Structure 1
Amino acid sequence: MTAAEAPVLFGTAGRAAHITLNRPRAINALDHEMVRRIDAALTAWEHDPAVETVVVSGAGERGLCAGGDIRAVHDDARDGDGSAAAAFWRDEYRLNARIARYPKPYVALMDGIVMGGGVGVSAHGSVRVVTERSRVAMPETGIGFVPDVGGTYLLGLAPGELGTHLALTGAQIGAGDALLCGLADHYVPSAALPGLVADLADLPVHDALARHVQPPPQGELAARREWIDACYAAGTVEEIVRRLLGHGDPAAKEAAETLLTKSPTSLKVTLAALRRARRLGPLERVLDQEYRVSCACLRSPDLVEGIRAQVIDKDRDPHWSPRTLAEVSDADVEAFFAPLGDRELGLAAGAGSDGEVAW
């Protein structure tokens, strides 16, 4: 493998260090090796006085990152003992927490597709830039999984019940809605990104941004807040679906129909995880919870089946088990949150200060 073929490229330009996710044919999907390399680079740059800013971007034209390497997770859950997937998540979630606490400006260029693990390596950063091409989503319920990489933390902080809507439906949002939901900070047209990157080599982040930030395009969610907040405030997924179907807005009915295509188990566990995340406090505690849930998903038939249907065979016809929401009991949901004993992620135990970054 040549340096240019490496799955992550690293370099510096002036005062800025650069991380470029470099698997463009896979829309830069993250694997374990990439996570470890990024973490090592962040360690080196944290202690390098010549590096004042870290910039993360994706190679190719399609996006920053489409998520984690779920084919590998599928194969480990189906044919292995799940230990490889659990080890990947352990390091990935630790990286997510590290990004959130990084002591230098961490500028994420969220151009194009930014989903799942891509959200994890960008939306926890201190400077998050979206463009007119941004498509941001946590689509895990469609593959029999649950939003992770701190996704339940981020979506739990979104206004009203917008985060619940995004977590359950897996809906993709553009720049305006990413800003509304707190998943991004600034809008820069994609054509201006090269200029922003060039200026970050010479200028403090604030001054570089001032040259390129523009008012964002209008999103769609603000106009839908009334029915989203009313319907998703319900205590159960069944009641959420009932309210959506009965509301009268065609978009609400469409959301209900979308929910009914997702894994019933994933929907119920996701709702519980999101509600609990809002009460847990710091990101580290939420990541500890997500690790429990993710490891439990490895034992659920829906994860293997969901990835098979969406990514392996691409027949888009998953056969969920249980098949309906009514068949998923409270005890079934509670099992996903069971303590892991000596296998816990344990981030909360080692968390430091509030992690404010001054720059």
Structure 2
Amino acid sequence: MTTSPDMPASVSVSRTGHALHVELRRPQALNALNLEMIEALDRAFSLAENDSSIALVILAGAGERAFCAGGDIRAIAQGLASGEEIAEPFWRAEYDLLRRIEAFAKPVVVLMDAIVMGGGVGLAMHASHRVVTERTRLAMPETGIGFLPDVGATWRLPQAPDRIGDWLALTGETVNADDAILAGLADAMVSADRLSALRTALSELPLGVGSAEVGAAIVSEALPAPAGRLRDARALIAAAFADGSLETIMERLRADDRPFARETLATLATRSPASLYVTRHLLERGARSPDLAACLERELASALRIHREADFREGVRAALIDKDRDPRWAPWTPERAADWDAFLDDFDRRHAEGQDA
């Protein structure tokens, strides 16, 4: 095994055979991403791209608690409060990396063990091969902190069957391996205690290996995932989250007395009204978008706007600082909705005209 010295302590890069192993090494923070880590990951992919002796990339997280719990939202909020704007350079670098992963010419295998949230989902869902385990707990929890599902979620989640992606984005609920596979965010489940064996098998693949051979190596270790919570609720979700406004979704859920509908309605009632509104509209526009890049550009513009609103500061306070889990959201008004509609319409118009959105 050889290692690369040109990396911060929070990211390690090593080689075994023809595989480049990239590991997030910030376990005390659940491998949450900061700008230094994003830049290190980009250098790792440059190494893999330019070295003809590397056949594939394997991306994982250190420790047993998380693959990656997302971006370092606390740091972004603190930077906003102090006047040190770190959000835009972080998101621009992160989204550039995600575009690179999606278009990468060599297979990229992501081992999504344990907690996978927000930016961690982004790192994984655009890769060519996404592996979950029986310990995977996946979520896009942004509506619970006054933010929005980004990292290309508005491109991937509308592709999920039966509006499951809408449910994931709006509720922010956590799901298991089976649900992640059902939603199209993962491909196969491998037992956590077999990940080391899978790494070895992938490392022993010959130079020039393609996606099919990598997939076959994963399938040889794969197991059926334990049943998730969404399979039996697919029809309910499809009916409740079909086309229509948030108010229409709520009305459909109120009219359904099944436990899953009541639980979903109760969850939505705790989320930021602004986040719910913006997320719903971003998902609708994402479903009509031509590619991931278009969605990431819209997400960036929306993220830079919403992270300056009161709900984001309050959501971060309640979830990450005071941890009282009792956010007091700003009232949602028709005027705020109209402002967001105008903002998104203007973005899409300028983007269609080829202007700098």
| Shared fold, TM over 0.5 | yes
**CA–CA distance in structure 1, aligned partners of residues 144 and 216 of structure 2:** 41
Which residue among 334, 337, 341 is the counterpart of 1:330? 337
Pairing 1:8-157 to 2, within 5 Å after superposition: 8-80=11-83, 83-157=85-159
**CA–CA distance in structure 2, aligned partners of residues 266 and 62 of structure 1:** 28
2:136 maps to a residue whose letter is: S
Contact 1:277 1:286 in 2 (8 A): yes
Q: Verify: 1:306 aligned to 2:315, yes or no.
A: yes
Contact 2:8 2:36 in 1 (8 A): no
Offset, 1:207: 4.2
**SS of equivalent to 1:172:** coil
**CA–CA distance in structure 2, aligned partners of residues 234 and 339 of structure 1:** 22
**CA–CA distance in structure 1, aligned partners of residues 107 and 149 of structure 2:** 26
**CA–CA distance in structure 2, aligned partners of residues 206 and 147 of structure 1:** 28
**SS of equivalent to 1:280:** coil
**SS of equivalent to 1:334:** helix
Once the two structures are superposed, what CA deviation does each residue of 1:258-289 show, in whole Å capped at 9, x if it has no partner? 00100000000000000000001200001011
2:31 maps to a residue whose letter is: N
1:269 maps to a residue whose letter is: V
**CA–CA distance in structure 2, aligned partners of residues 207 and 167 of structure 1:** 31
Pairing 1:154-173 to 2, within 5 Å after superposition: 154-173=156-175
Counterpart for residue 357 of structure 1? none
Counterpart for residue 256 of structure 1? 265
| Unaligned 5+ runs, structure 1 | 350-359
1:7 maps to a residue whose letter is: S
**CA–CA distance in structure 1, aligned partners of residues 39 and 46 of structure 2:** 11
| Unaligned 5+ runs, structure 2 | 206-212
Counterpart for residue 182 of structure 2? 180
Offset, 1:209: 1.7
Once the two structures are superposed, what CA deviation does each residue of 1:189-229 show, in whole Å capped at 9, x if it has no partner? 11111100111110252342243112222222121012111
**CA–CA distance in structure 1, aligned partners of residues 271 and 166 of structure 2:** 14
**CA–CA distance in structure 2, aligned partners of residues 317 and 258 of structure 1:** 13
Instruction: Give the RMSD, CA atoms, in angstroms.
Output: 2.2
Q: 1:201 to 1:149 in 2, by over 3 A?
A: same
Q: Verify: 1:190 aligned to 2:209, yes or no.
A: no
Counterpart for residue 353 of structure 1? none
Contact 1:77 1:304 in 2 (8 A): no
Offset, 1:303: 0.8
Q: Verify: 1:297 aligned to 2:283, yes or no.
A: no
**CA–CA distance in structure 1, aligned partners of residues 130 and 346 of structure 2:** 33
**CA–CA distance in structure 2, aligned partners of residues 336 and 175 of structure 1:** 36
Q: Verify: 1:212 aligned to 2:215, yes or no.
A: no
**SS of equivalent to 1:166:** helix
Once the two structures are aligned, what percentage of the paired residues are identical?
45
Offset, 1:26: 0.7
**CA–CA distance in structure 2, aligned partners of residues 315 and 243 of structure 1:** 31
**Paired residue total:** 342
Give the TM-score normalised by structure 2: 0.91
2:248 maps to a residue whose letter is: E
Contact 1:131 1:175 in 2 (8 A): yes
Structure 1 runs (4+) deviating above 6 angstroms are 2-5
1:321 maps to a residue whose letter is: A
